Amino acid sequence: MRRPKMILFDYGHTLLAEPDYDSLRGTYAVMAHCVQNPRGLSPEEVDRFAGEVFRGICGPARDIGLEIHEYQFDRLTYEYLELTFSVGAAARERLYWDNAAPGVRMPYIGEALSYLREQGIRSGVISNIAFSGAALRERIGRLLPEHAFEFVLASSEYMIRKPHPLLFELALRKAGLPPEDVRFCGDTVRCDVAGAAGAGIFPVWYEDRTLDNPFREPAGNPPVGPHLHITDWREFPPALECCQS
């Protein structure tokens, strides 16, 4: 296997994590900027309704591989409830996300990214996420300020979710590289490992078990097919070196 020219990463539980996600905390932050609330709804009532919309619409959409953008979700929820705010959709998105889950770096991801910079290996991100690409880029830049990814692809901006091959193929086109020159790192078997392999990209399965992860693969469900398996980002540089010809 030849030396990769680019490494692509998943976002959640690969680069960064969101421990203790609390949607109500995010809703409280948004509702602090509400200027019209004719129904007198409490943050708890708004959050409960938003959860029902997510489970009833967004969840089934995701089950068939589609993504609904946060701005659409936001607009439907707040206009239906007749709520008006002093801040726009982009500000509401950041208020909600930053308060619901500020985000933390995955352990030792800095060391892995430092290795890529030292080796001159390019990098990018493909994430299944409803939040906007702008918000995702801002978050990654804030929590990983020492590293510059060439591009960040959010499924919210492209309608489809991993493992659909078009997202991986789009990344290859943006990179101007064939799949054999790229590796994809992610934590889920279906979306990341199988998805990358389906697009001809060699997958790296990152299986961290030190942080709480609601999307963690069940025990005994390893990927099928060739892949590199690591459980700590400190394993990544030497593993990558061993796989190079």
For the segment 106-162, what is each residue's pLDDT rounded down to a tens digit? 999 999 999 999 999 999 999 999 999 999 999 999 999 999 999 999 999 999 999
Instruction: Judge whether residue 213 has pLDDT over 70.
Output: no
- Please enumerate in sequence order all residues whose Cβ is within 8 A of that of 189, keeping only pairs 6 or more positions apart, or say none: 205, 217, 221, 222, 223
CB-count exposure of residue 36 (10 Å: 0-12, 13-18, 19+) = exposed
Q: Rounded distance, CA 57 to CA 68, Å?
A: 9
Domain locations in the chain as residue ranges: 6-19+103-242, 23-100
Domain 6-19+103-242 sits in which CATH superfamily? HAD superfamily/HAD-like (3.40.50.1000)
Q: What is the mean pLDDT of residues 32-52?
A: 98
- The per-residue pLDDT for range 13-32, each reduced to its tens digit, is 999 999 999 999 999 999 99
CA dist 191 and 197 (Å) reads 10
